Amino acid sequence: NDVVMSGKGGDGEKIIDPALAGKRAAARRAVEEHIRSNQVVGIGSGTTIISAVERMVELVEARSLNNIVCIPTSFQARQLIIENKLPLGTLEQYPEVDVALDGADEVDADLNLIKGGGGCLTQEKIIASCAKEFFVMADDRKITDALGTYWKKGVPIEVVPMAYRPVQLKIQKHLGGVVELRMAHKKAGPIVTDNGNFLIDWCFDGTPDWLEVDRKLQCIPGVLETGLFLKMAQKAYFGTPEGNVTVR
């Protein structure tokens, strides 16, 4: 069940993902329980969403899923929709999304998430915020007691390029921790997001009040969006390497 995939953080390094079976089981179950004909569906980014799209295609081919429109959360999601010949739409055409599906880097007991490990977060958050229902799919390693303990790379934050340095310093000064600019493979340069921005990763200490921290981060000029998805998800599906799924 292992798969070779691009390294976390988009650095191009090849790693083996031992969690694919769990991601796949969670994604398939979420699709079966929540995707229905005539819906506008938000398509998340990462590896887990690939299995969700795969299951949607199977249902479309079996004619038990008809007339859906898929709204991508990234360039990767757009490619995935096109390659799988699913109908593609935009928020301009469909500002109200019925259901959004996405993966996560960490999920706590209140279904608060850290996202953006793969470099996408702003469009993901916009689409999740436009969805009547937002469901998370992940392998069970992503379950955490306290956000920040699994991913250990902190909270990804998308910043306007010319502001990255002052934003970095302001976060360190006012919120503590360490903020790093996310670099491409072999430090070829900073990772550039789908929106033409940079990503910084904030490694913090302790267990902050996430709503307060997110509000403070969002108030810093130059911060476009954070990878903190707080009180957004209605349900999370977690798969084990054996293919079992638990729902929270």
Could you write out the DSSP letters of every residue in 95-147?
A: SSEEEEEE--SEE-TT--EE--TTS--HHHHHHHHHEEEEEEEEEGGGB-SST
Q: Does 105 bind ligand 5RP (CB under 6 A)?
A: yes
In this structure, what DSSP letter does residue 1 have? -
Q: Candidates 62-70, 102-110, 127-135, 198-206 — which segment interacts with ligand 5RP by CB under 6 A? A: 102-110
Residue pair 100/70 in contact by the 8 Å Cβ criterion: no
Which alpha helices (H) appear in the chain, and where do they start and end?
A: 20-34, 48-61, 75-83, 122-130, 164-175, 210-218
Choice between 128 and 171, CB closer to ligand 5RP: 128
Report the nearest approach of ligand 5RP to the CB of residue 173 (Å). 27
Choice between 143 and 176, CB closer to ligand 5RP: 143
Report the nearest approach of ligand 5RP to the CB of residue 56 (Å). 16
Choice between 119 and 208, CB closer to ligand 5RP: 119
Q: Does 72 bind ligand 5RP (CB under 6 A)?
A: no
**Which of 121, 155, 179, 233 lies at the binding interface for ligand 5RP (CB under 6 A)?**
121
Report the nearest approach of ligand 5RP to the CB of residue 68 (Å). 20
Give the C-alpha separation, 36 to 47, whole Å.
22
Choice between 29 and 115, CB closer to ligand 5RP: 115
- Window 22-61: residues binding ligand 5RP (CB under 6 A): 44-48
Give the C-alpha separation, 99 to 108, whole Å.
21
Catalytic residue among 106, 124, 158, 225: 124
**Which of 116, 148, 154, 239 lies at the binding interface for ligand 5RP (CB under 6 A)?**
116
Characterise 80 by phi-psi region: left (phi > 0), alpha (psi -120 to 50), beta (else): alpha
Residue 124 is a catalytic residue = yes
What are the catalytic residues? 124
